[in-house]
Amino acid sequence: MTVVGLIRKFIPTRIKIKAYVLIVEIAARSKLLLYPFLFILHGRIPKGVSIVDGKPLYYYKGIKIEAPRDSIEAYVEVFQDNVYDRKAVPSMGDTVIDIGAYVGMYSIKASHFVGSEGLVIAVEPLLGNLAYLKSNVKYLSNIKVIKVALSNYIGHGKLYS
């Protein structure tokens, strides 16, 4: 078993997440640190990623996506591993609701699937993510951004980021 495999198996998830975010924040300051880290973690360096002024920039079908330093894993899930495409892929004219849209990565991808006749509703409650989301999708007319938290119950709660 590899070192990464052992870590995944024996380290509690909450500790892995905190360590991962810290490592990515440090590594994302430079390609010299980030690319080896990504290669160790994923066995490859993701395509369409660059580091500008210490922040990652992603590119998908000609669209520049700005995001926080710890966003690389979301980029890999959406664009490289196609995690969301495993269950269903939207078709032209469909409506997609992206709950917890983060910075809009999947919203942008879904926008291409549904085309100009479709609609993507990007739902995101966190102000920091919302700023990135609005900036990233501003040129895509088939994406509507809604600032709200969604849940399976009515009431008030605390949102943790």
Taken in order of first residue, the domains within the chain and their CATH numbers are 3-146 (3.40.50)
Strand order in the sheet with 119-123: 95-99, 119-123, 143-146
| Nearest CA-CA partner of 132 in 78, 55, 61, 80 | 55
pLDDT of the residue at 4: 64
Nearest Cα neighbor of 142 from 121, 159, 128, 160 is 121
Which tokens is 55 given? 């922040």
Half-sphere exposure of 151 (CA within 13 A, CB side): 9
14 CB-contact burial (10 Å; exposed 0-12 / middle 13-18 / buried 19+): exposed
pLDDT given at position 43: 67
Q: Tell me the C-alpha distance between 21 and 31, whole Å.
A: 16
Q: Token pair 């999947």 is at which residue?
A: 106
State which residues of the chain have pLDDT below 70: 1, 4, 7-8, 13, 16-17, 20-21, 24-25, 27-35, 37-45, 54, 161
113 to 23, 93, 96, 117, 132: CA distances (angstroms): 33, 8, 10, 10, 21
